[in-house]
Amino acid sequence: MTEARFELIVLGAGPAGLAAAKAAADSGREVLVLDDNPLPGGQIWRGGPDQAPNARARAAFSALQHPRIAYRPGARLFAAPGPGTLLVELPEGGCRLGYGQLILATGARERFLPFPGWTLPGVFGLGGLQALAKGGYPVAGKRIVLAGTGPLLLAVADTLKARGARVLLLAEQAPLGRVARFAAGLVRHPAKLAQAVALKSRLLGIPYRCSSHVLEASGRERLERLRLSWGGEEGFIDCDYLGCAFGLLPNTETGQLLGCTLAAGAVAVDDYQQTSRPGVYAAGEACGIGGVDKAQIEGRIAGLAAAGRPEEARRLFPARAHARDFADRLAEAFRLEPALLRLARPDTLICRCEDVPLQALQSCSSWREAKLLTRCGMGACQGRTCGPMAETLLGFEPRGSRPPLQPVSLETLVSALSPTDPR
């Protein structure tokens, strides 16, 4: 068993985590950055420094060269057995880490909603399909429909088109009016506007339909055909892949493990990004979906606050307010249409791990009861997909989390808990 103690541990090496680590290290703190992926960058810059898409990403990655920042990829946090202690699975085994302060920069994951056929092979998450394509999964010549909401639709289409895919349709669930108002409001955020214009011009020729969503995916062994609703009409499209998700959900499980209060499905923070647990901060998507600008500014504020520089942190408050304004506009423009919550049939699976259909949950009055009687959420993903679905569709209370945070081998768990070797 190895054991070590750090003044500050940052969980997550995406935009928020990198910014937090740099701000704290520049202020003299010794920082350990842990990330469960093999490469840093989070979901947005997941290729790591070698594939940094722009100068901003390159600048962010430079934090990892800082003399006071240590970085461990492939590190999976699985338990917090007491104040100031984390149990982590490293590639070489279990380990116990002590910390003085902690910054949660755990990011977000895609929100899925169930519709008939959503578990068929060939149906992917939207960001999931983008990540696969960037990782070399062959999409050239494939007929692909992208469905969901928000700017991610355009970004994914861009990635897929650049790799030779035939993107047949972008189905945006939000109505045209809201999307148009959002686009007009981008005048306040000129950089975003320029990005959007460039992106749209690269996607000329791909139909972009508002008030549109998938009604059903069908096929014998795998996805063959989609039934869609576009602007109130129904139609069919034959395709090979569907990329489909409905926005993002903050990853709050680590915050819950540490006992942090949640608000509106995100880790609640004060002006200095501190959570309800003293010395534990959160930044980026984990405390509210808002994109890379918000993530980096919040990361800097958290890093400065943790390093005891509240005055410098305060100077960033106006920039954060501006970034949060954009996030609010985004949330308003792309809020989910109620029709999306009525797509599942009684036999549509909600919990893929334990094969639990909607009808089995409809007689339950709470998530606790659903878990007890149907095993919903008791499988390998520990309810990360079906829990939010059940909350949205059935009004269940938000689920708690039970350790370990992620499945971990018995050997790793035992080694992380075993007494320290005398040296």
Partner 1 sequence: MQYDVIIVGGGIIAAALAESLALAGASVLVLEAQNAGAGVSAAGMGHLVVLDDNPAELALARDGLERWQRRRAVLPAGAEYRECGTLWLARDGEELAEAERKQARNRTLGLDCKLLGRAALYAAEPNLAPGFAGGLLRPDEAVLYPPAACSWLLANAQALGARLLEHCPVAELAEGGVRCADGREFRARAVVLAAGTASPELLPGLPLKPRKGQLAITERYPDLVRHQLVELGYIKRAHAATGDSVAFNVQPRATGQILIGSSRENEDTGAELNWPLLGEMLELAGSMLPALRQCRILRAWTGLRPATPDGLPLLGPVPGRTGLWLATGHEGLGITTALSSAALLAAQILGRKPELDPAPYWPQRFHQLSGSALHA
- Regarding 274 and contact with partner 1 (CB under 8 A), the answer is no
Give the shortest CB-403-to-partner 1 separation in angstroms: 6
Q: Which helix (H) or strand (E) holds 82?
A: strand 76-82
- Regarding 92 and contact with partner 1 (CB under 8 A), the answer is no
98 versus 404: smaller Cβ distance to partner 1: 404
183 versus 381: smaller Cβ distance to partner 1: 381
Per-residue mark of binding to partner 1, 391-410 (x: CB under 8 A): -----------xxx--xxxx
Q: Site size for partner 1, by CB under 8 A?
A: 28
Binding positions for partner 1, 213-242, rule CB under 8 A: none
- Regarding 368 and contact with partner 1 (CB under 8 A), the answer is yes
- Regarding 70 and contact with partner 1 (CB under 8 A), the answer is no
Residues 234 and 253: their CA atoms lie apart, in Å, by 38
- Regarding 323 and contact with partner 1 (CB under 8 A), the answer is no
Sign of CA dihedral 392, 407, 124, 256: positive
261 versus 363: smaller Cβ distance to partner 1: 363
Binding positions for partner 1, 101-140, rule CB under 8 A: none
Structure tokens at 36: 């469960």
Among 229, 273, 274, 382, binds partner 1 (CB under 8 A): 382
Residues 418 and 414: their CA atoms lie apart, in Å, by 6
Structure tokens at 247: 């926005």
Give the shortest CB-314-to-partner 1 separation in angstroms: 37
Among 162, 184, 321, 373, binds partner 1 (CB under 8 A): 373
- Regarding 79 and contact with partner 1 (CB under 8 A), the answer is yes
137 secondary structure, DSSP code: -
222 versus 368: smaller Cβ distance to partner 1: 368
On whether the CB atoms of residues 18 and 113 are closer than 8 A, the answer is no
Among 366, 384, 388, 423, binds partner 1 (CB under 8 A): 366
Binding positions for partner 1, 165-194, rule CB under 8 A: none
* 3-state SS track over 351-372: ECCCCEEHHHHHCCCCHHHHHH
**CA 265 to centroid of chain Cα atoms:** 13
Among 162, 184, 191, 417, binds partner 1 (CB under 8 A): 417
Task: Using DSSP bridges, classify how beta strands 31-34 and 2-11 pair: parallel, antiparallel or unpaired.
Answer: parallel
Among 226, 323, 378, 390, binds partner 1 (CB under 8 A): 378
Identify whether 404 is preceded by a cis peptide bond (ω within 30 of 0): yes
- Regarding 365 and contact with partner 1 (CB under 8 A), the answer is yes
300-315: burial string, b at 16+ Cβ within 10 Å, e else: bbbbbbbbebeebbee
Residues 132 and 423: their CA atoms lie apart, in Å, by 45
User: How many Cβ atoms are within 10 Å of 20's Cβ, its own excluded?
Assistant: 37
Which parts of this chain interact with partner 1 (CB under 8 A)? 79, 81-82, 87, 365-366, 368-369, 372-375, 378-380, 382, 402-404, 407-411, 413-414, 417-418
